[in-house]
Amino acid sequence: MPDATLDHIARTFDLRAWSVAFTRTCGGAIVETMADHVRDLASVRDATERLLTAAGKLNNDSVAEPSRLPGWTRGHVLAHLARNADALVNVLSGRPMYASAEARDADIDRDAPLPLDAQLLDVRESAAHFQETGAAPADWSRTVELRNGVTDTASGVPLRRWAEVELHHVDLGIGYELEDLPAEFTEREITFLTDRFTGHPDVPHTVVTDGTRAWSTGSESAGPGITVTGPAPELLGWLCGRRDGAGLDVRGGALPTLPPL
């Protein structure tokens, strides 16, 4: 998989540990939010059904066409979604997420050329296995390990999977856009992504706002404060590398360039 694709995906799915309890700035108030794994698992299920319904309208030729991710066909995106579900089952089961980075990429390349029917079945069956694993009695406050030694609480895993399904649905380029994402998901993913760059020495202190809610990111030591304003889908698109920020209003300096991780 080309480096550009790796960076594009990494910007969205940063594997840095984050707490099951996190705070967000909302209208000037700090609100405490707790991860609800049961509700998030239901959201993952609904998002998966939306994706499968939409992808079911493709054919073998269109699934082999380029996706919006550099270097990946739509088949690569679907293969990645299936193998990611397997990987997160491994995480919840206490096993390594992937055997290795090379094995992860090889599995995606192996499955990307499969016919559409096989791709859809693979995504559906792997998603069902993830749901079954999530439904089993477990200590959701336990620490689990993802890639490269990164840890998280088990209750944070369903939100990670939700992000995979929603944003890669957009990446398929089949009519599902950032504006179509559930509002709750968009807000929570903006929270996650702004938190990712908080304190980063290469990102100036930045207030990100849709005019109603506001998030803070970057580092005060990296430069003067910048305010980035726009609709929530545009903010999310910039933060996750899906849009260039042209639809945003920037005050106090240039739109920060977000470094890949």
pLDDT in tens, the chain (261 residues): 444 444 455 444 444 333 333 333 333 333 333 469 999 999 999 999 999 999 999 999 999 999 999 999 999 999 999 999 999 999 999 999 999 999 999 999 999 999 999 999 999 999 999 999 999 999 999 999 999 888 899 999 999 999 999 999 999 999 999 999 999 999 999 999 999 899 999 999 999 999 999 999 999 887 778 999 999 999 999 999 999 999 999 999 999 999 774
Are β-strands 206-209 and 151-153 bridged in parallel, bridged antiparallel, or unpaired?
A: unpaired
The answer to whether the CB of 194 falls within 8 A of the CB of 214 is no
- For residue 238, count CB atoms less than 10 angstroms from its CB and return exposed for 0-12, middle for 13-18, buried for 19 or more: buried
Residue 131's nearest CA partner among 55, 52, 44 is 44
pLDDT of residue 225: 87
Q: How far apart are CA 255 and CA 234, in angstroms?
A: 13
- Angle 183-197/232-239 helices, nearest 10 degrees? 40
Helix (H) or strand (E) holding 75: helix 74-92
pLDDT of residue 221: 84
Q: How far apart are CA 219 and CA 198, in angstroms?
A: 6
Tokens of 34: 């707790």
pLDDT of residue 35: 65
- Angle 183-197/157-171 helices, nearest 10 degrees? 110
Q: How far apart are CA 185 and CA 202, in angstroms?
A: 27
pLDDT of residue 71: 97
Q: State the CB neighbour count (10 A cutoff) for residue 143.
A: 10
Tell if the pTM clears 0.85, that is, is over it. yes
- The DSSP line for 20-33 is SEEEEEETTEEEEE
pLDDT of residue 196: 86
Phi and psi for 229 in degrees, rounded to 5? Answer: -125, 140
